[in-house]
């Protein structure tokens, strides 16, 4: 394995296994057992190829070094169930919010902040919600929580939260920016200190001004529907999402429309690409492509959207237990996870319930390898691909 070779982290979060594999051959270089990582909080890219994630069963933040001799380099207790995970651009200051877990309504109001340089951590109470989070860096780091119902961007000083006494005291924000109450999806642009939140009305943005945020004009979706997922492409300086339209009833998910949404942060230009009907959610960013999976009763596919605009569709074998017509696309079904690295041409996609990981060459759309995860990868598992110096940490929000 060379220094710039990509590695794939495969989390079977239901079964409690994490493996690190070489690409494209799938040689195992690390394995963890008894670790049930939060699929919702996801993997957070840190500098030097490191990765942060949360073990929802043990209540620990893990710092992983896939390229090192030991995979786990640090553990810090945090409140769970982990909802969202983010760091400042330096990768030192980390915040973890809590969410629903297996409960039907918000019940936890705990937020954990961690200084990875010292291992210091503190827990505070905010309000019961499913808050998104970004962490703005600098000499006075800020934690920005995206709340819903009522919607707001709540600004906290990191030092104030980290210095909180034991006992999980209530922490009031020192500034708030109004936001629609249907926010879902967060991103940060470290270059300008901007934060972004996806809502039904568009992508709301705010720029840091000292210890507070100054809102700017929202970015419209320019397509029927809205995005529920938002991420930054740190290489090409763009925001990405998938805009979903169609009937709101989740049982009618095969009729949902989907568009790839890309907003260039320098030019202000927005591009839309139709992806087809069905379930499209998270995306991954490869060297020259944005990568999506589309699940549909008539056939699943991997979609490779070249940064130059060309689109390639690659059929995927069906999943036993996949979402069906007349049923929920979320509950009790198998799903797919997708991963890529901005410094690699490989793409990985799971086949939930079968324990398969398809490795695809993004340049050709051809499958290079079929890897076996060693577990069923129930609910699709979760993936992350990294090279040691791919710059993925330029997107400092867990994915």
pLDDT, tens digit (0-9, with 9 covering 90-100), for 282-316: 999 999 999 999 999 999 999 999 988 899 999 99
In a domain, 160, yes or no: no
User: Of 165, 192, 196, 342, which is closest to residue 261 (Cα–Cα)?
Assistant: 196
On whether residue 129 sits in a domain, the answer given is no
In a domain, 19, yes or no: yes
Vertex 107: Cα angle to 248 and 165 (nearest 5): 140
Instruction: Decide if 227 is inside a domain.
Output: yes
Burial tier of 176 (Cβ tally within 10 Å: 0-12, 13-18, 19+): middle
Contact 52, 39 (CB under 8 A): no
Q: pLDDT tens string for the chain (399 positions)?
A: 566 799 999 999 999 999 999 999 999 999 999 999 999 999 999 999 999 999 999 999 999 999 999 999 999 999 999 999 999 999 999 999 999 999 999 999 999 999 999 999 999 999 999 999 999 999 999 999 999 989 999 999 999 999 999 999 999 999 999 999 999 999 999 999 999 999 999 999 999 999 999 999 999 999 999 999 999 999 999 999 999 999 999 999 999 999 999 999 999 999 999 999 999 999 999 999 999 999 999 999 999 999 888 999 999 999 999 999 999 999 999 999 999 999 999 999 999 999 999 999 999 999 999 999 999 999 999 999 999 999 999 999 999
Q: Identify whether 277 is part of a domain.
A: yes
CA distance 133 to 146: 6
pLDDT tens profile 140-158:
999 999 999 899 999 999 9
List the domain range (segments joined by +) for residue 223. Answer: 7-55+62-76+182-394
Q: Which among 125, 177, 187 has a CA at the least distance from the CA of 151?
A: 177
pTM value surpassing 0.75: yes
Domain count of the fold of the chain: 1
* Residue 5: predicted pLDDT: 92
State the virtual CA torsion across 28, 45, 197, 234 in degrees, nearest 10.
-110
The candidate with the shortest Cα–Cα distance to 60, out of 74, 76, 71, 82, is: 76
CB-CB neighbours of 319 under 10 Å: 21
DSSP 184-241: --EEEETTTTEEEEEETTEEEEEEEETTEEEEEEEEP--SSSEES--EEETTTTEEEE
pLDDT at 2: 61
Amino acid 262: pLDDT: 98
**Domain contains 27:** yes
User: Which pLDDT does position 3 carry in this prediction?
Assistant: 62
| Domain contains 88 | no
DSSP secondary structure letter of residue 371: E
Measured CA to CA, the distance from residue 30 to residue 9 in angstroms comes to 9
Tokens 């759309």 found at: 365
Is 149 among the domain residues? no
Question: What CATH number is associated with residue 268?
Answer: 2.120.10
* Residue among 43, 81, 79, 83 at smallest CA distance from 63: 43
């Amino acid at each position: 394995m060379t220094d710039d070779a990509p590695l794939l982290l495969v989390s079977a979060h239901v079964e409690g296994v994490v493996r690190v594999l070489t690409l494209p051959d799938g040689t195992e270089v690390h394995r963890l057992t008894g670790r049930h990582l939060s699929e919702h909080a996801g993997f957070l890219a840190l500098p030097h190829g490191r990765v942060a994630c949360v073990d929802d069963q043990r209540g620990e933040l893990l710092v992983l070094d896939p390229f090192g001799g030991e995979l786990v380099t640090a553990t810090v207790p945090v409140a769970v169930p982990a909802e969202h995970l983010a760091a400042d651009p330096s990768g030192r200051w980390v915040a973890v919010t809590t969410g629903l877990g297996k409960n039907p309504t918000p019940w936890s109001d705990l937020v954990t902040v961690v200084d990875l340089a010292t291992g210091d951590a503190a827990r505070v109470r905010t309000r019961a919600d499913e808050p998104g989070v970004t962490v703005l860096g600098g000499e006075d780091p800020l934690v920005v929580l995206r709340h819903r119902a009522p919607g707001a961007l709540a600004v906290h000083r990191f030092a104030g939260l980290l210095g909180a006494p034991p006992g999980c005291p209530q922490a009031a924000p020192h500034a708030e920016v109004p936001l629609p109450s249907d926010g879902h999806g967060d991103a940060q642009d470290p270059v300008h200190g901007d934060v972004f939140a996806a809502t039904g009305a568009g992508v709301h943005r705010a720029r840091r001004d000292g210890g507070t945020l100054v809102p700017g004009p929202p970015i419209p979706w320019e397509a029927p529907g809205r995005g529920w997922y938002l991420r930054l492409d740190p290489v090409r300086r763009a925001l990405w999402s998938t805009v979903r339209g169609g009937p709101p009833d989740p049982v009618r998910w095969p009729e949902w429309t989907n568009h790839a949404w890309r907003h260039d942060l320098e030019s202000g230009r927005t591009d839309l690409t139709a992806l087809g009907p069905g379930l499209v959610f998270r995306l991954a960013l490869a060297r020259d492509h944005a990568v999506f999976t589309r699940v549909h009763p008539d056939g699943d596919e991997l979609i490779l959207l070249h940064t130059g605009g060309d689109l390639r569709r690659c059929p995927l074998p069906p999943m036993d237990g996949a979402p069906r017509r007349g049923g929920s696309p979320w509950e009790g079904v198998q799903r797919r996870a997708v991963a890529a690295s901005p410094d690699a041409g490989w793409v990985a996609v799971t086949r939930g319930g079968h324990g398969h990981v398809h490795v695809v060459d993004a340049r050709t759309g051809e499958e290079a390898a079929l890897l076996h995860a060693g577990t069923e990868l129930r609910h699709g598992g979760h993936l992350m691909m990294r090279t040691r110096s791919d710059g993925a940490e330029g997107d400092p929000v867990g994915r």
